[in-house]
Homo-oligomer: A and B are copies of this chain.
Amino acid sequence: MKNTDELRALVDDALAAHLPHGDLQGLDDVVAATLEGGKRVRGALCLAVGQALGRDPEEVLPAALAVELVHAFSLVHDDLPALDNDATRRGRPSTWAQYGEAIAVLAGDALLADAFRLALSYDSPRVARELVEATLGMIGGQYLDVTGTEQDLAALNRLKTGRLFDASVGMALEIARVPEDDRARWRAFSEQVGALFQFVDDLLDGDGFAAAYGEEETRRRADEAAERALSALAELDADTTVLRGLVEGLASRTA
């Protein structure tokens, strides 16, 4: 079995080699540039769940790339001046700052469509359905955030971050044809992983939960989410060794 770092590298290499659709014309170079950098957590999670269920990473890779493309889409549009107005991303100019707003809008659109193209490479439409449901929830969360309608950080994060983590797991479950009845425990796991990721993100950035409730309380919640994620894994009928390592890595990450 491949460990988390090997799975991350797999996603990273595949994204670097990923050729956005030829019909995108020159926009494909912009799309490729938006895919550079990034921790590949969602893609690696997708591969790791597939691997735990006995699926070859190659089979799960299109879904793993698709979830990374949806994530990249959300960053490119959220960075726009009208939204978060972030001129930098991963230490470099954000897409709109580098290419202008018009190109950034179109690049985000292209990433979203290309993500569905990848998720649609499977025989069953159920893989792509997982992704589209999650994407709609994520966009709804961004709407609540932009308009300030939702004050409950946990509810907001379940949409903005949680839904895509859930799709990472859900797509792998679809590919591995896990029976519906066995999915609830996997969903419980994905919910805790999404929460864990967000708590640690807020700790590292000093915003969100960390700004609202302080560092200590956020660390406590992160550790609690990690523990619950590990408990959920323990109840699963699958080889969850690598997934345990992934959770521990997310809990202790410093970047």
Binding site for B on A (CB under 8 A): 21, 23-27, 73, 77, 80, 82-83, 100-103, 105-106, 108-110, 112-114, 116-117, 120, 122-125, 128-129, 132-133, 135-137, 139-144, 146-147, 149-150, 159, 163
A114: chain B residues at CB < 8 Å are 136
Minimum-distance CB pairs A-B, first 3: A82-B101, A23-B137, A27-B143
Are A113 and B110 closer than 8 Å at their CB atoms?
no
In the bound complex, what is the Cα–Cα distance between A26 and B150 (angstroms)?
11
Q: B140 contacts A25, CB within 8 Å?
A: yes
A250 smallest CB distance to B (angstroms): 25
**Inter-subunit contact A140/B23 (CB<8 Å):** yes
Task: Tell whether, in the assembled complex, residue A113 and residue B135 are in contact, meaning their CB atoms are under 8 Å apart.
Answer: yes
Pick from B21, B80, B149: contact of A25, CB under 8 Å: B149
Instruction: Please state if B83 and A23 are interface contacts (CB–CB under 8 Å).
Output: no
Identify 10 residue pairs between A and B in the complex whose beta-carbon atoms are under 8 Å apart, listed by A's number: A23-B159, A24-B136, A24-B139, A25-B143, A25-B150, A25-B159, A27-B140, A105-B105, A112-B112, A120-B129
Question: CB within 8 A of A123: which of B113, B125, B159?
Answer: B125
Chain B hits for A129, CB < 8 A: 117, 120
In angstroms, Cα B82 to Cα A159, docked, is 28
- Check A102/B140 contact, CB under 8 A, given A112-B112, A120-B132: no
Of all chain B residues, the one with the shortest Cβ separation from A137 is B23
Residues of B within 8 A of A100 (CB): 82
Q: Which of B101, B120, B147, B159 contacts A26 (CB 8 A)?
A: B147
Closest CB of chain B to A215's CB: distance in Å?
A: 30
Bound-state Cα–Cα, A3 to B108, Å: 38
Complex CA–CA separation, A139 to B108 (angstroms): 10
Asked whether A143 and B26 contact (CB < 8 A) given A21-B136, A117-B133, the answer is yes
- Is A117 within 8 A of B136, CB to CB? yes
**Given contacts A23-B140, A103-B147, could you give 10 more A-B pairs where the C-beta distance is less than 8 Å?**
A25-B144, A80-B101, A80-B102, A82-B105, A110-B136, A113-B132, A113-B136, A114-B136, A120-B128, A120-B132
